[in-house]
Amino acid sequence: MKIFITGGGGFVGGALVHRLIAEGHEVLALARSGPSIRRVRAAGAEPVPGDLTDPPPWLARLREADAVVHVAAHMEFWGPDALFERANHVPTVALHAASVAAGVRRFVLVSAASVSTGSQRRPVVDESTPEGRPNIAYSRVKLATERALRGAPGGNTELVVLRPPFIWGRGMTTIDELAGVAEAGRFAWIDHGRHIVDFVHVGNLVAATLLALTRGRSGGVYYVTDGAPTPIRDFLTPLLATRGVDLSKSRSVPLAVAAPMAALMDRTARLLRRKSAPPLTNWLVSFTGRDRSYDITAARSELGYSPDVTLEKGLAEMSSS
């Protein structure tokens, strides 16, 4: 197959490019900067210079593709909805419409499991669970984008949506800030880190994405995880240890204290239109202070997904890098 990818120079997209090339596919990868172009080319793909927010003339290359995988996204845990609408929603809707017009057979959207993090408090959710209202703009806009694409004219283009939770693995940068907080002695568990979290290794997400190129229902939405929900202490402690960070002496705050404190800090920062997040937010309490896992039965049965990279294997890879 010939696959058009966005975000091919990033953490997830880069891993996907390597896997697709290794399996004999042709890859066109949108790249907006010199370093991204070089990474894409080094991986064996053809870089397509361009930016999602400024489509012409690269949109013409979609006519060559059998499928499109949309990985690229502006991701932050803080910011106004309008920022993510401009950076993520509008370009994604336009890319999907252009893919349909170009006759692309399948469009795979890498969304986020956090579309159900917020007012939805169930400890285990699946694709039939109402999402509620997400508590950060990134996730609210992701959910709105999913719904927009599922409701848009699809022509002969089949849409598949993947919802990964926290993505981890060698090369990740999302724990850099957390490592800095811990090294400064400002890290704290909620309820001693006993709450359940779910996550997905980048290799497992890549495997699911490859399956979604040919399997799954048109319009199907699938949570994709490592299939191993774990107390957050048992996940973050060894993960940060790969960066030389020791969490063994970190203090703990009860959820009954953390939740109202986060609500006050969150509300105040938004009212003051602060550009950066406060130390404690509603989202952080949701992630670290409440049990949440995702049922991946649909991904297993409809995509044929089976997560092969275990926590132990992934940590070993990170420790040796």
CATH classification at residue 162? 3.40.50.720
Residue 222 is a catalytic residue: no
Q: What is the pLDDT of residue 174?
A: 86
Residue 28 DSSP code = E
Contacts of 278 (CB under 8 A, 6+ apart): 265, 266, 268, 269
Dihedral angle over CA of 74, 227, 208, 285, nearest 10: -10
Alpha carbon 118 to its chain centroid, in Å, reads 16
The residue written with tokens 């060894």 in the block is 238
Closest CA to 96 of 110, 82, 83: 110
Domain that residue 155 falls in: 2-168+199-225+293-308
What is the token pair recorded at 242?
């790969």
Residue 41 lies in a domain: yes
**Can you give the pLDDT at residue 1?**
95
Interval 249-305: pLDDT, tens: 999 999 999 999 999 999 999 999 999 999 899 999 999 999 999 999 999 999 999
What pLDDT is stored for residue 228 in this prediction? 97
Tokens representing 166?
A: 């926290």
Measured in whole angstroms, the distance separating CA 128 from the mean position of its chain's CA atoms is: 20
Does some domain include residue 173? no
What does the alpha-carbon distance between residue 64 and residue 66 come to, in Å, rounded to a whole number? 7
> 3-state DSSP call for residue 91?
helix
Model pLDDT, residue 55:
81
List all residues 6 or more positions away from 112 whose beta carbon is below 8 Å from its beta carbon: 138, 139, 142, 163, 164, 165
> Active site residue: 138, 223, 294, 305, which one?
138
Asked if omega into 57 is within 30° of 0 (cis), the reply is yes
Percent of the chain past pLDDT 70, that is, above it, reads 100
pLDDT at residue 224 in the model: 98
Question: Would 9 be classed as within a structural domain?
Answer: yes
Examine residue 174 and state whether it is found in any structural domain, yes or no. no
Exposure class string for 150-166: b at 16+ Cβ within 10 A, else e:
eeeebeebbbbbbbbbb
Torsion angle of C-alpha atoms 90, 61, 162, 136, degrees rounded to 10:
-20
Distance CA 142, CA 159 (A): 15
Q: 121 lies in a domain?
A: yes
Token code pair at residue 69:
């995988």
Residue 105 to residue 154: CA distance in whole angstroms: 10
**Helix axis angle, 176-183 to 232-241, nearest 10°:** 90
Instruction: Classify residue 183: in a domain, yes or no.
Output: no
Query: What pLDDT score does 56 carry?
Result: 84
Amino acid type, 298: A
- Contact present, 189 and 288 (Cβ < 8 Å): yes
Q: Is residue 240 part of a domain?
A: no
Look at residue 260 and tell me if it is in a domain.
no
Strands 196-197 and 230-231: antiparallel
Domain count, the chain: 1
Q: Which pLDDT tens digits describe the chain residue by residue (321 residues)?
A: 999 999 999 999 999 999 999 999 999 999 988 999 999 999 999 999 999 988 888 999 999 999 999 999 999 999 999 999 999 999 999 999 999 999 999 999 999 999 999 999 999 999 999 999 999 999 999 999 999 999 999 999 999 999 999 999 999 988 888 898 899 888 999 999 999 999 999 999 999 999 999 999 999 999 999 999 999 999 999 999 999 999 999 999 999 999 999 999 999 999 999 999 998 999 999 999 999 999 999 999 999 999 999 999 999 999 986
